[in-house]
Structure 1
Amino acid sequence: MLEVGEDAVALSAAGSTFEFAPEAEAVLRPLVDGRTVYLAALAETDGLDVEDVAGLVQEPVAGQAATVGSLL
């Protein structure tokens, strides 16, 4: 679940809640919707570098609330 407030975006999943800056909604929304998305596509959505997006999703991945896969 993604809750959007004025000061933060809260991602609740796998029994944990992760807080982000409001600008993170554009990156997190596709993940919450259950879509499989390339990090590069998420970066383009918000005009970020892939490294920035990877850093943003690192916390929910570490908390086992999201997964990162490979198509190789």
Structure 2
Amino acid sequence: MVTAYVMVKASTGDVDRLKETMLNLHDGVESVSIVAGDVDFIVKAHVETPAEVKDIAASIHEMTGIEDTQTYIAMD
């Protein structure tokens, strides 16, 4: 199993819509937290393969209202 965190910066103030969309994006998305700081959301995913992490991150990055993403895979 692979656990990953996607840091998401939004370019819109419609955070509730984006949060719901990200939560429903893939069965592996465990949580979406709205946060303060350099990013607007932290998405936690728990999936079978790194390829699924890539698919989730790419889907988020392509969403309308998303400015940037950074993906981190947990090492333990």
**Alignment TM class, shorter chain as reference:** 0.3 to 0.5
Greater share of residues in helix: 1
TM-score, normalization by structure 1: 0.38
Higher relative contact order (CA 8 A, sep 6+): 2
